[in-house]
Amino acid sequence: MDKIKHLFIMAAVLAFVTGICIKISEAAVNKPEMEQLADAFGKNGIAVKKWTMYSKENISIPPGNFSENVKRFTQQHRLFNWSVEKTANGWKAAGIREFKDGTETLQIVSTDTNRQRQSYILYQVQGTGNSRNWTEVHQYFKKQSFDIFHEYPTIFSCIEGSYDDKMVGVLHLSDALLNEFNAVPLEQLKEPSFVSVSAYTARWGQTIPAEQGSMNMQIAVRHGGLGENTTVVAGTPIITTEY
């Protein structure tokens, strides 16, 4: 009887612990992608330097109607400081709004390349450091994106950090970040001081096509040279900054 009671208690404890582990795992997965990336950087000793959230949607602007569209668009978004300029192959209107530790940018662009007209709206929020509420940042960006595009567009999240341990190789850092997300590498470029990896993780539902299948994560690690820190960049579904 005591043995059965003991087994029952052990089973109850195991079920309780398993339930807690599942809840912790679900909480981690439900965090915004940017927060998950920042957490992974922190776990691996990578200091967050700057971050970017970015959305882009193609639009249709008839030839000669750019000024009319820009006037209407800028009136709808008066809180931005706007400038309009003629580019080498079209026009661009850019609105900027500064906030603490960052910048919010909204652009409407029209280009004509090889007699093919392309127009699009680009919305971007950039910031520095890691001391922020990522859920609030994500919700703000999501709301602003919907107000701009009138739908929920694909959100590109990108984060850049610095690692100051000169003895750790670039491959070690990229592998460590892949392991954090149980990510499967699809395409890799490996050099002595630089590694770039495109991968897939089941943690995120948003994906884009790649030659080897669907991908939703990119990592780039570059060692700056003797006495310099290592730069680490990670993004989903791709990196949207130079690396």
What pLDDT does residue 20 have?
A: 40
**What is the reported pLDDT for 13?**
45
Q: Which residues of the chain have pLDDT under 50?
A: 7, 11-13, 15-28
Give residue limits of the domains in the chain: 51-157, 164-243
Residue 243 CA to residue 234 CA, distance in Å, equals: 10
The amino acid sitting at 108 is I
Which residue type sits at 52?
Answer: T
Instruction: Kindly report the pTM of this predicted structure.
Output: 0.81
Instruction: Look at residue 65 in the predicted model and tell me its pLDDT.
Output: 78
Q: Is 20 helix (H, G, I), strand (E, B) or coil?
A: helix
- The closest alpha carbon to 122, from 61, 74, 56, 53, belongs to 56
Pick the closest to residue 119 from 127, 109, 128, 105 (CA basis). 109
* pLDDT at residue 225, as a whole number: 73
What CATH topology corresponds to 164-243? Dihydrodipicolinate Reductase; domain 2 (3.30.360)
User: How far is it, in rounded angstroms, from Cα 167 to Cα 187?
Assistant: 26
Long-range CB contacts (within 8 A, 24+) of 57-60: 57/120, 57/121, 57/149, 57/153, 58/118, 58/119, 58/120, 59/108, 59/119, 59/120, 59/121, 60/119
CATH of domain 51-157: 3.30.2030.10
The reply to whether 51-157 and 164-243 are identical in fold is: no
